[in-house]
């Protein structure tokens, strides 16, 4: 259909002239990349601090709840292997009833938040200032 392998779109693109970018485009792009990198790291460190504090507070609260509910007394039962072998279901049901699972879920969520925050905090910094800007 097209003897030289070019269709109408190819011919239109061949007629286009290349646009000259503005002279300050490179500096704006580099400054924008540096700013986003700094903001991402600031958010990461802030989120990391908040998640560590939240995790510590939740761990303390869950420890107090375990102590008050009597779930820590189950640790003595784990030392007795005969009781575990005879009454596995009862020990499992006691754990399910005594552990404050809503607080445990919050601790797991804060640990997941730590992972996300560390990824943000240690993301590579964009440092273009050391390179020659005029190149």
Grade residue 2 by pLDDT with cuts at 50, 70 and 90.
low
Question: Would you list the domain boundaries of the chain?
Answer: 23-121
pLDDT digits (tens, 9 = 90+) for 23-49: 899 888 888 888 888 888 888 899 889
The separation between CA 4 and the C-alpha centre of its own chain, rounded to angstroms, equals 53
- Predicted local confidence at residue 18, as pLDDT: 82
Q: In this structure, how many other beta carbons lie within 10 angstroms of the beta carbon of residue 117?
A: 20
According to DSSP, residue 72 is labeled G
- Those residues whose C-beta lies under 8 Å from the C-beta of residue 65, and which sit 6 or more positions away, are 100, 103
- Predicted local confidence at residue 134, as pLDDT: 47
pLDDT digits (tens, 9 = 90+) for 47-99: 889 888 988 888 888 888 777 877 677 666 666 667 777 877 887 787 788 77
Of the candidates 67, 76, 55, 77, the one whose C-alpha atom is nearest the C-alpha of residue 99 is 67
Q: Is the pTM of this model over 0.75?
A: no
Confidence check: pLDDT of 123 > 80: no
């Amino acid at each position: 259909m097209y003897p030289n392998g070019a269709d109408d779109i190819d011919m239109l693109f061949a007629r286009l002239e290349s646009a000259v970018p503005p002279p300050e485009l490179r500096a704006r792009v580099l400054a924008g990349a540096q700013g986003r990198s700094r903001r991402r790291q600031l958010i990461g460190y802030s989120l990391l601090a908040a998640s560590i504090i939240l995790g510590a507070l939740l761990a303390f609260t869950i420890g107090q709840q375990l102590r008050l509910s009597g779930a820590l007394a189950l640790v003595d039962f784990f030392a007795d292997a005969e009781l575990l072998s005879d009454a596995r279901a009862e020990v499992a049901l006691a754990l399910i009833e005594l552990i404050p699972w809503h607080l445990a879920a919050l601790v797991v969520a804060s640990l997941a938040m730590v992972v996300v925050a560390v990824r943000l905090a240690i993301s590579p910094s964009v440092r273009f200032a050391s390179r020659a800007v005029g190149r």
